[in-house]
Amino acid sequence: MSKRSRIDEKQKEFEDSDTDSTDTEEEMLEQLPSTLPILATEKSEKTINVDFEFFDPKQGDQEQIAKLLTNYLPQTKFDLEGIANFIVSQSRVGTVVKIEQEDIIGFVSVININTNRSLKCVEQILEYLEKNLDEDFKEKLDELLQNEKANVGLILDERLVNCPHILAPHIMRAIFDEINWATEDEPTKELQNSFKFDYILNLTRCFVTVESKNEIENEKKNLEVQWPKIEDEFLMEQSEMSSFWLPEKEIESKEFHISPYIEKKICMLIPMKRIDKMRTNLNSLFNLN
C-alpha cells in the first residue's frame, strides 16, 4: 500500500498548477487532484499522465536514493551510501516518491544531528557547514550542538528537477506529520524525544541571477533567486538564519556560468514553531487550505 493515493497529472509546457479544487487538505491526501504540472521538453498540447505514489523507504531503495543525493552533496567527498542507509533504516519517519511503484523520483527524511553526530555522514556534513556558514550561523549551530537538551533536525529532501511543484505541500505534510507522530509513537521515550526538534536545518541549493564575477562573489548584489524545490522558498521565509555560498564545482571552475543564473548552496535554520506557518503558506499557494 502507498502512503498517499495516486496522482494523475497533466499540463502544457512550463505551466504552473492552477488547481481549482475546493477539497480540504485531508481529502487531498486521500485522493490528490488531477492537475499537477510536469515540465515538457517540447511545445505540445499533448496530455501527459503520470502516476506518483508515496511509500516508506525500504531495503533495496538505497541505490536510487544515493543517486538523487548527488544533487545534494558531492559524491566524492561525502558518504552518500551512509545517508541512504540511514534513510532506509528510519522508515517510520521518511518517504520516497515513486512512479508506478518502481522508480524513485524523490525522497524526504530527517536526521537528528545532535544524537547522530558520531555517524560518518553527519560528521562530514557538519564539517562542510563549518567551512561554509557565516560566523554568526556557525556560532548558533555550535551552541545548539553543544546543548544536551537541544534537538536539531536536518531535512533530507531531494527529487528530480522536473517534478511538479504541487508535490511539495504533500511531501512537507508527509515528513512533518510523521515527525509529530514519532514523538508519541516511537517505541522508547528516548526515540520519541529525539524527534522533538527545536530547529530544522535545511541544506539545499538555489539559482541566483548575476551579471558579473563580482556579483557571484557578493551575495548581497544578487538580483533574483530561483528555487528548484518550491518548499525551500517558504522555508526560507520562516528561517531565523541563512548562509549562501558557491559550490566547489563553481569555485574551481575557470569559467563562471553567468547566463544569467548560477548555482549557490544555501543553509537555513528554521525554528520548529514556525513550520506550521510555512506549511499553511505553501498549502495556500495550491489552494489546499
> Which cell numbers in the block locate residue 217?
562573489
Give the sign of the dihedral formed by CA 49, CA 32, CA 277, CA 204. negative
**CA 11 from chain center: how many Å?**
24
pLDDT bracket for residue 18 (50, 70, 90):
very low
Q: Which of 49-53, 79-83, 108-112, 258-262 is least confident? A: 258-262
Q: What is the pLDDT of residue 215?
A: 55
User: Are the CB atoms for 9 and 50 separated by under 8 Å?
Assistant: yes
Quick count: other Cβ atoms within 10 Å of Cβ 39?
15
pLDDT mean over 198-211 = 90
Q: Give the confidence band of 131 by pLDDT, cuts at 50, 70, 90.
A: very high
Least trusted range by pLDDT, from 71-85, 182-196, 275-289: 71-85
Cα(114)–Cα(177) distance, rounded to whole angstroms? 21
pLDDT of residue 116 exceeding 80, the answer is yes
Average pLDDT over residues 226-233: 95
Percent of the chain with pLDDT over 70: 75
Instruction: For residue range 25-81, list pLDDT tens digits in order.
Output: 334 334 333 333 343 334 445 666 778 999 999 999 999 999 999 988 877 789 999
pLDDT value of residue 214: 57
Identify the helix (H) or strand (E) that includes residue 70: none
